[in-house]
């Protein structure tokens, strides 16, 4: 069974042009079939400020009203996605940019209103792999932004970590899928102020212990929930760390069953 790498990059890479160019140059050289998923970085917030569109958040999570969705679509699916595709083409890596609406690849539903109305935020219901398989078989590289759709004409802002996890799960029966979360930290840390305190391997039992001891909290929690969701759904391996872990043997965190 062939290996498929699903790689998600965060804002620390997207927001730094030199870092992004270096990453994409190295990414282009990965021989295995691969899918790239990216978030939005800070550009959407900067554009909202320029357009006098208020950025609303609850507990650190963005509320996606109609004006915000318009800005996110312009930035994620336009400026960032097409910029990445163009840079990959410059590295002789034949990439195709996607939202979940393109090829009907990722279907979501609008998050139901409970305590908070998050607006046009999507929770993924299904990944259609058929279109993506055709691309991979013809050595084309899908590049997904953090936007899905509901099959009724509505685009939805969707967490990029979740998109990466669901894509990896969707291909787990056809490939030995490996999921990579690349961000500014060297992995999951025992001490967030000490980059050397990497927890190199975490299994389900250990994860529960780390949660009980409040070693893992805040922004890392949803990322690790996506990791274990992937592992529990036949994804072969999940890695968290700096992007160099893809290209060099450096310490990072590996999630195990």
Q: What is the mean pLDDT of the chain?
A: 94
Per-residue pLDDT band for 137 (boundaries 50, 70, 90) equals very high
Tally of helices (H runs) and strands (E runs) in the chain: 9, 14
What pLDDT was estimated at residue 49?
92
pLDDT at 219 over 80: no
Rounded to whole angstroms, the Cα distance separating 192 from 214 reads 12
30 Cβ partners below 8 Å, 6+ apart? 5, 246
Please write the tens of the pLDDT for every residue from 109-120: 999 998 899 999
pLDDT on residue 1: 85
Q: Using the 8-state DSSP alphabet, how is residue 110 labeled?
A: E
Mean pLDDT of 18-25: 96
- What pLDDT shows up at residue 236? 95
- Both tokens of 184, joined, read 């500014």
Model pLDDT, residue 48: 92
pLDDT at 234 over 80: yes
Where residue 105 falls (left for φ over 0; alpha for ψ -120 to 50; beta otherwise) is alpha
Q: Which of 48-52, 54-58, 127-131 has the lowest mean pLDDT?
A: 54-58
Residue 200 gets the label, from left (phi > 0), alpha (psi -120 to 50) or beta, of alpha
Per-residue pLDDT tens over the stretch 187-214: 999 888 888 899 999 999 999 998 888 8
pLDDT band at residue 59 under the 50/70/90 scheme: confident
CA torsion angle 187 171 160 220 (round to 10): -30
Residue at token pair 């609008």:
110
Q: How far apart are CA 5 and CA 137, in angstroms?
A: 14
What pLDDT was estimated at residue 161? 96
pLDDT at 229 over 90: yes
pTM metric for this prediction: 0.95
| Structure token pair of residue 119 | 């607006």
Structure tokens of 188?
């999951």
44 to 9, 30, 54, 59, 257: CA distances (angstroms) = 16, 29, 11, 19, 36
How much is the average pLDDT of 224-233? 94
| Per-residue confidence band for 50, with pLDDT thresholds at 50, 70 and 90 | very high
pLDDT at 218 over 80: no
Give all domains of the chain, ordered by start, each with its CATH number. Answer: 3-255 (3.40.1160.10)
The full 3-state SS of 121-150, as one line of letters, equals EEEEEEECCHHHHHHHHCCCEEEECCEEEC
Place of tokens 């894509």: 167
Tokens of 220: 């890392």
Q: What is the pLDDT of residue 57?
A: 83
Q: CA-to-CA distance for 145 and 186, rounded, in angstroms?
A: 24
pLDDT computed for residue 28 by the predictor? 98
How large is the average pLDDT for residues 3-16? 95
Mean pLDDT of 31-47: 93
Q: What is the pLDDT of residue 224?
A: 92
**Sequence-ordered list of residues with C-beta below 8 angstroms from that of 61, at least 6 positions apart, any chain:** 118
Tens digits of residue pLDDT in 77-86: 999 999 999 9
Please give the structure tokens belonging to residue 161.
């970590």
- Residues paired with 107 in a beta bridge: 126, 149
Burial of 249 (0-12, 13-18, 19+ CB in 10 A): exposed
Half-sphere exposure of residue 29, counting CA atoms within 13 Å on the CB side?
Answer: 8
Q: What is the pLDDT of residue 220?
A: 85
């Amino acid at each position: 069974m062939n290996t498929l790498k699903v790689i998600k990059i965060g804002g620390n890479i997207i927001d730094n042009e030199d870092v992004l160019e270096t990453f994409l140059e190295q990414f282009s050289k990965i021989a295995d079939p691969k899918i790239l998923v990216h978030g939005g970085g800070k550009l959407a917030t900067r554009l909202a400020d320029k357009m006098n569109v208020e950025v609303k958040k609850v507990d650190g999570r963005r509320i996606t009203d109609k004006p915000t969705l318009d800005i996110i679509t312009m930035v994620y699916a336009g400026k960032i996605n097409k910029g990445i595709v163009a840079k990959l083409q410059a590295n002789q890596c034949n990439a195709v940019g996607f939202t979940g609406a393109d090829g009907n690849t990722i279907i979501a539903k609008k998050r139901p209103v409970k305590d908070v109305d998050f607006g046009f935020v999507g929770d993924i219901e299904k990944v259609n792999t058929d279109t993506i398989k055709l691309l991979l078989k013809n050595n084309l590289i899908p590049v997904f932004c953090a936007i899905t759709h509901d099959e009724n004409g509505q685009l939805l802002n969707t967490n990029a970590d979740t998109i990466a996890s669901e894509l990896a799960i969707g291909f787990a029966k056809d490939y030995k899928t490996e999921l990579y979360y690349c961000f500014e930290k060297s992995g999951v840390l025992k001490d967030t102020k000490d980059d050397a305190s990497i927890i190199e391997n975490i299994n389900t039992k250990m994860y529960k212990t780390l949660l009980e001891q409040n070693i893992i909290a805040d922004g890392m929690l949803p990322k690790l929930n996506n990791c274990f969701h992937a592992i529990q759904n036949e994804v072969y391996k999940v890695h968290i760390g700096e992007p160099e872990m893809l290209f060099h043997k450096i310490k990072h965190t590996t999630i195990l069953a």
